[in-house]
Protein backbone atom coordinates (compact mmCIF):
# COMPACT_ATOMS: atom_id res chain seq x y z
CA UNK A 1 0.00 0.00 0.00
CA UNK A 2 1.25 3.47 -0.85
CA UNK A 3 0.62 6.49 1.34
CA UNK A 4 -2.55 8.34 0.25
CA UNK A 5 -0.97 11.60 1.38
CA UNK A 6 2.50 11.58 -0.20
CA UNK A 7 2.31 8.36 -2.27
CA UNK A 8 5.49 6.88 -0.81
CA UNK A 9 5.62 3.26 0.20
CA UNK A 10 4.16 2.41 3.59
CA UNK A 11 5.38 -0.23 5.98
CA UNK A 12 3.65 -2.39 8.54
CA UNK A 13 3.95 -1.10 12.08
CA UNK A 14 2.37 -1.48 15.48
CA UNK A 15 1.01 1.88 16.47
CA UNK A 16 -0.61 3.06 19.70
CA UNK A 17 -4.21 4.22 19.61
CA UNK A 18 -5.89 6.38 22.23
CA UNK A 19 -9.52 7.29 22.71
CA UNK A 20 -9.66 10.55 24.64
CA UNK A 21 -6.94 10.11 27.24
CA UNK A 22 -7.40 6.35 27.43
CA UNK A 23 -4.76 4.27 25.70
CA UNK A 24 -6.38 1.33 23.97
CA UNK A 25 -3.11 -0.36 23.07
CA UNK A 26 -0.95 -0.98 20.03
CA UNK A 27 -2.58 -2.05 16.80
CA UNK A 28 -1.37 -3.20 13.41
CA UNK A 29 -1.16 -0.35 10.98
CA UNK A 30 0.57 0.88 7.87
CA UNK A 31 2.93 3.74 8.51
CA UNK A 32 4.52 6.12 6.04
CA UNK A 33 8.21 6.65 6.73
CA UNK A 34 8.13 9.85 4.72
CA UNK A 35 5.27 11.86 6.27
CA UNK A 36 4.55 9.68 9.36
CA UNK A 37 0.90 9.28 8.41
CA UNK A 38 -0.57 6.19 10.08
CA UNK A 39 -3.42 4.13 8.71
CA UNK A 40 -4.92 1.38 10.79
CA UNK A 41 -5.99 -1.73 8.95
CA UNK A 42 -9.67 -2.59 8.78
CA UNK A 43 -9.05 -5.46 11.17
CA UNK A 44 -7.37 -3.08 13.62
CA UNK A 45 -10.25 -0.61 13.36
CA UNK A 46 -12.61 -3.40 14.40
CA UNK A 47 -10.33 -4.32 17.30
CA UNK A 48 -10.12 -0.67 18.35
CA UNK A 49 -13.93 -0.36 18.35
CA UNK A 50 -14.24 -3.62 20.27
CA UNK A 51 -11.73 -2.52 22.90
CA UNK A 52 -13.45 0.87 23.28
CA UNK A 53 -16.81 -0.90 23.68
CA UNK A 54 -15.34 -3.17 26.37
CA UNK A 55 -14.20 -0.09 28.24
CA UNK A 56 -17.60 1.57 27.79
CA UNK A 57 -16.19 4.58 26.01
CA UNK A 58 -17.19 3.81 22.45
CA UNK A 59 -19.52 6.29 20.82
CA UNK A 60 -18.86 8.99 23.38
CA UNK A 61 -18.01 11.56 20.73
CA UNK A 62 -20.88 13.76 19.62
CA UNK A 63 -21.72 16.94 17.78
CA UNK A 64 -21.33 20.26 19.55
CA UNK A 65 -22.15 23.76 18.40
CA UNK A 66 -19.82 26.71 18.41
CA UNK A 67 -21.15 29.71 20.28
CA UNK A 68 -19.95 33.24 20.73
CA UNK A 69 -18.84 35.06 23.86
CA UNK A 70 -17.19 38.48 23.63
CA UNK A 71 -14.30 38.11 21.23
CA UNK A 72 -14.04 34.36 21.65
CA UNK A 73 -15.78 31.39 20.19
CA UNK A 74 -17.01 28.94 22.76
CA UNK A 75 -17.67 25.27 22.47
CA UNK A 76 -20.04 23.51 24.82
CA UNK A 77 -18.55 20.24 25.87
CA UNK A 78 -21.21 17.58 26.36
CA UNK A 79 -21.49 16.37 29.97
CA UNK A 80 -20.65 12.78 29.09
CA UNK A 81 -17.32 13.89 27.63
CA UNK A 82 -16.62 16.36 30.43
CA UNK A 83 -17.21 13.59 32.98
CA UNK A 84 -15.07 11.17 31.01
CA UNK A 85 -12.16 13.62 30.95
CA UNK A 86 -12.84 14.84 34.51
CA UNK A 87 -13.13 18.44 33.29
CA UNK A 88 -14.15 21.02 35.83
CA UNK A 89 -15.27 24.62 35.56
CA UNK A 90 -12.30 26.99 35.78
CA UNK A 91 -9.81 24.26 34.96
CA UNK A 92 -7.03 25.21 32.60
CA UNK A 93 -6.81 23.24 29.38
CA UNK A 94 -4.58 23.38 26.34
CA UNK A 95 -6.26 23.84 22.96
CA UNK A 96 -4.47 23.34 19.68
CA UNK A 97 -5.26 22.61 16.05
CA UNK A 98 -4.21 19.33 14.52
CA UNK A 99 -4.21 19.61 10.78
CA UNK A 100 -6.83 21.90 9.31
CA UNK A 101 -10.05 20.28 10.52
CA UNK A 102 -9.29 18.97 13.97
CA UNK A 103 -9.29 20.69 17.31
CA UNK A 104 -7.52 18.99 20.18
CA UNK A 105 -8.29 19.82 23.80
CA UNK A 106 -5.72 18.54 26.22
CA UNK A 107 -6.17 18.40 29.96
Footprint on this chain of Zn ion (rule: CB under 5 A): 3, 5-6, 32, 34-35, 37
Residue with Cβ nearer Zn ion (22 or 35): 35
Residue with Cβ nearer Zn ion (30 or 85): 30
Nearest 5°: the CA angle 105, 61, 65 is 70
Cβ burial of 19 (10 Å; 0-12, 13-18, 19+) is middle
CB of 1 to Zn ion, least distance (A): 11
CB of 30 to Zn ion, least distance (A): 10
Residue with Cβ nearer Zn ion (27 or 30): 30
Which secondary structure element, helix H or strand E, spans residue 53, and what is its range? Answer: helix 42-54
CB of 17 to Zn ion, least distance (A): 19
CB atoms within 10 A of CB 34: 13
Amino acid sequence: MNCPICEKKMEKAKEPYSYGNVKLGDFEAEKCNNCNEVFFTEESSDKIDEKAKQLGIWGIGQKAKIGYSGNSLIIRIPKKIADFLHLKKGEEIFVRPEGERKLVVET
